[in-house]
Every structure is written in C-alpha cells, then in structure tokens.
C-alpha cells in the first residue's frame, strides 16, 4: 500500500545553485538523478502516485534546476537536473557538473540517491561519474532500471544481473561487497513501484505501512 505521505508531496522550490537550498538541519532528503529522458519524472510521479508532480517533459533537459518536493516538515524528495542533454551550453553543463558533485559529496541531510538508468542504456558516462562521487563518501545508491516494459522478461532479468555484476565489480565500496542496489522499474506498467516505495520508506525512516486484512466474505 502506498504511504499516503507521498501522495501529499508538493513542489516547494527550485534552486539554481547550492546557496539557495534549504538549511539542512533536521531535514532528510532523497535525491533522484538520471540522464535526460531516462524516465526520472515518470518515476517520481508514479512513486508519489501523482500524475504531474514532476512535469513529464517531452523536451528533455528543460528542468535545469534542483526541485524540492516536500512530504512533511522534515522530509523532501529532491529532483536533480537531468544530465546529458546535448543542447545545453558547455558553460551550463560545467555549472551543473560541479554543482551535482558538491551536492552529492557535501549535502549533510542527503540520505541516499535514487538513480534512474534506461534499461536499454545503463551506465552512460555521467551515470558512472555520479556513482563514483557517491562511492567516495559511501552515499547509499539505489538504481531503478527504468522502462523495463521495453524489454521482454528474460532480457530484463539478464540486464538486471549484468548491472548488479558491474556494480559489485566496479563500484563496490569494499572489494566484492555490494554497495549500490538495483531493481527493475516501469512507470508505465507499475513494475517495481512498491519495492521503490519500500526503500524510500526505509531511507526516510517511515514505519512500514500496515496493510489491513481485507474483511473475509462469508
Ligand atoms: N515505455 C515506457 N516509457 C516510459 C517509461 N517511463 C518514461 N517513459 C517515457 O520516456 C520519455 C521520458 O520520460 P520522462 O519521465 O520525461 O524522463 P526524464 O527526462 O528523465 O524526466 C517519455 O516519453 C515517457 O513517456 C516507462 O516506464 N515505460
Ligand atoms: Mg524530467
């Protein structure tokens, strides 16, 4: 069952640089990152059960700001700018590259990063760069392999396994110790939504939602 707090999420502010972020004392943030067009907005909307919280943009890369969605006084979902969009100037790219690095390495209230990777194109250059920045500080990372509906079950399962292997080999914090976790996800079909919500619940420190026993028909 969806934690109703996600459905109450509201947009509170967009920041263009780190000085505009809310004071981190007593906050818990979970950030969503991904290449433009990786399905980040669709994932945020699906996980929060809101149709248009993060605007699903047909023009990739338009969201060049850090967007804050408030769940309650303490907890925020943070939508980081999509990266890898060719039409942005080099200067803008450099600005965001630097800003994202500082954000991931220094933001004290950041509890973890959810990274969207299109299941058909995992580990783009900047995905790997972001993973390295998180690896340095041991920042928890959970990867959603998005648009899983675009592959058949077998192929999706194989990609999941390969991605897990790559994570354990190339991005472990301790040798061969899994650090980042990964799952299949489809905003279209709803695959993996509950698993993603359960992870957010854990990171945000929400108690597991009790599902009431349905009344028995006699
Ligand atoms: N088939 C399929 N398409 C998806 C899924 N999630 C997103 N898309 C499509 O991928 C494109 C980019 O999605 P969007 O959420 O805007 O990506 P963003 O740029 O990363 O925020 C849109 O055309 C979406 O409709 C999914 O789970 N399955
Ligand atoms: Mg988007």
Instruction: Please compute the mean of the pLDDT values over residues 152-160 and round it to a whole number.
Output: 97
Closest-lying ligand 1 atom to the alpha carbon of residue 34: 20
Whichever domain contains 111, its CATH number is: 3.40.50.300
Q: Which residues contact 60 (CB under 8 A, 6 or more apart)?
A: 36, 37, 82, 85
Q: Whose CA is nearest to atom 10 of ligand 1?
A: 39
Q: Cβ < 6 Å from ligand 1: which residues?
A: 34, 36-42, 56-57, 60, 82, 146-147, 149-150, 186-188
- CA-closest candidate to residue 118, choices 163, 169, 72: 163
Structural domain tally of the chain?
1
Quick one: what percent of the chain has pLDDT higher than 70? 90
The parent domain of residue 18 ranges over 4-204
Q: State yes or no: pLDDT of 57 exceeds 70.
A: no
Q: What is the CA(216)–ligand 1 centre distance, in A?
A: 39
**What is this structure's pTM?**
0.92
Residue 127 domain-assigned?
yes
CB 5 within 8 A of CB 72: yes
Is residue 217 in a domain? no
Predicted local distance difference test score (pLDDT) of residue 173: 76
Give domain status of residue 212, yes or no.
no
Does a structural domain hold residue 218? no
CA–centroid distance, residue 208 to ligand 2 (Å): 29
Q: Is residue 84 in some structural domain?
A: yes
* Token pair in block for residue 72: 């309650």
In a domain, 59, yes or no: yes
Whether 175 is covered by a domain: the verdict is yes
The answer to whether position 143 is within a domain reads yes
Q: What pLDDT is attached to residue 35?
A: 93
Comparison of pLDDT for 151 and 175, the residue scoring more? 151
């Amino acid at each position: 069952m969806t934690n109703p707090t996600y459905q109450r999420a509201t947009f509170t502010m967009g920041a263009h640089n780190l000085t505009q972020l809310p004071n981190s004392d007593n906050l818990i943030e979970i950030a969503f990152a991904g290449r433009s067009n990786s399905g980040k907005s669709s994932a945020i909307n699906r996980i929060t059960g809101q149709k248009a919280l993060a605007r699903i943009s047909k023009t990739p890369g338009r969201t060049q700001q850090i967007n804050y969605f408030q769940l309650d006084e303490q907890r925020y979902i943070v939508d980081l700018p999509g990266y890898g969009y060719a039409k942005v100037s080099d200067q803008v790219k450099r600005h965001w590259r630097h800003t994202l690095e500082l954000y991931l390495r220094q933001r004290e209230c950041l509890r973890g990063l959810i990274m969207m990777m299109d299941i058909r194109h995992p580990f783009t250059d900047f995905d790997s760069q972001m993973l390295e920045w998180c690896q340095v500080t041991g920042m928890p990372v959970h990867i959603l392999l998005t648009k899983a509906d675009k592959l058949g079950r077998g192929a999706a399962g194989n990609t999941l396994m390969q991605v897990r292997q790559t994570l354990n080999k190339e991005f472990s914090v301790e040798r061969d110790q899994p650090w980042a976790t990964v799952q299949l996800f489809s905003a279209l079909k709803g695959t993996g939504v509950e698993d993603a919500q359960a992870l957010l619940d854990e990171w945000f420190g929400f108690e597991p939602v009790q599902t009431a026993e349905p009344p028995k028909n006699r």
